[in-house]
Amino acid sequence: MGRAAVSPKGSFFATMQLNVIRQSEDAPIEYLPISREHRENDTIKFCQRTHDDLEIESVIIPMGGKGVHWNTLCVSSQVGCARGCTFCQTARMGLLRNLTVGEIVGQVRAANRHYGAAIRNVVFMGMGEPMDNLDNVMPALLRLEAEKEFRIARKRLTVSTVGRCDGIRRLAQLGWRTLGLAISLNAPNDEIRSRIMPINRTDSMADLRQAISEWPLRGGGHVLIEYVLLRGVNDQLDHAKQLAEFLRGLRTCVNLIPWNPIVGIDFETPDDSQTKAFQLELMNAGQLTFQRRTRGRSALGACGQLGNVDLRRTRQRERQPTIMGSNETAEAES
């Protein structure tokens, strides 16, 4: 593959990063079989079966309007996730394993070849926390940009994180000024955030704010703040005021996402009027704010809905000793 121009500002740390990336340059890109797919209108969620009988989930999302159209692919970086966000389906799987470079990049190959999707944008917002698998995510980013087969511009690559500050700083060390960063924030203060997102007990909002402020943005660029609205939990106007205060002085753009219902998870979606009022409060406080149009909800491909909980149950059953007929016990415990 051709080498991309990387501008690591010469630091020892960045050189180490590059070595990690170059060691992975020759990893084969997987083209795994499609095991399942679900469609809702023009949105396609597809699953690929891995060599060890797990599933990788990805979502093709057609975007645009007024004569301009492109496809965004939401890719997974792990099978499952260890981060335990209380509103998220993937969290219920736990972490089964990290995806390899080839498995991450292979999702784009499958979207292009199997679905003829001509992917233009890639967002790391599928299963998993990308900062927990940076040794594979960073080389995957480089290959998506550099390989002739993909040629996805850095400005069209976005990494989303639950807010792991050391990971944000590690990624920032690469000095990729046009790489997109999205923060899954979802709360206006530490009290609420720690309740719904365990990461906040180690990486507080103050630490996160500092890490965001250090992110290398190009002129006019923004860090995307993702905010899943949970009725009665984080969707009140006072929360919007606190959120605006937290973001004051940062170059951010808020993306409001009314929670996508998941069977077995006990939250509710705010109604449209509450969502609009929340958005207005943020905008009046000077915050650039959008509401994400929900895509793929019935296909379980919308935000926070990826993940196959049955896979976790199957793995748990496999680990149980078969003497004493304990398969039923495993099912009951899961």
CA distance 122 to 144: 9
| Choice between 88 and 96, CB closer to ligand SF4 | 88
Q: Which of 74, 81, 85, 303 is catalytic?
A: 303
Give the x-and-dash track for 72-111 against ligand SF4 (CB under 6 A).
---------x-xxx--x-xx--------------------
CA distance 233 to 59: 28
Burial environment of residue 235 by CB neighbours within 10 A (0 to 12, 13 to 18, 19 or more): buried
Report strand pairing: 180-184 vs 95-98. unpaired
CA distance 120 to 308: 27
Task: Please check whether residue 56 is in contact with residue 99, taking contact to mean a CB–CB distance below 8 angstroms.
Answer: yes
Three-state SS at 243: helix
Smallest gap from Cβ 262 to ligand SF4, in A, equals 11
Contacting ligand SF4 within 124-153 (CB under 6 A): 127-129
Smallest gap from Cβ 238 to ligand SF4, in A, equals 24
88 is catalytic: no
Smallest gap from Cβ 184 to ligand SF4, in A, equals 6
DSSP string, 278-302: HHHHHHHTT--EEEPPP-STTTT-S
| Choice between 102 and 128, CB closer to ligand SF4 | 128
Smallest gap from Cβ 56 to ligand SF4, in A, equals 13
Contacting ligand SF4 within 304-323 (CB under 6 A): 304
For the chain, report the end-to-end CA distance as a whole number of angstroms.
Answer: 45
Give the x-and-dash track for 158-197 against ligand SF4 (CB under 6 A).
----x---------------------x-------------
Residues in touch with ligand SF4 (CB under 6 A): 81, 83-85, 88, 90-91, 127-129, 162, 184, 304
Enzyme catalytic residues: 303
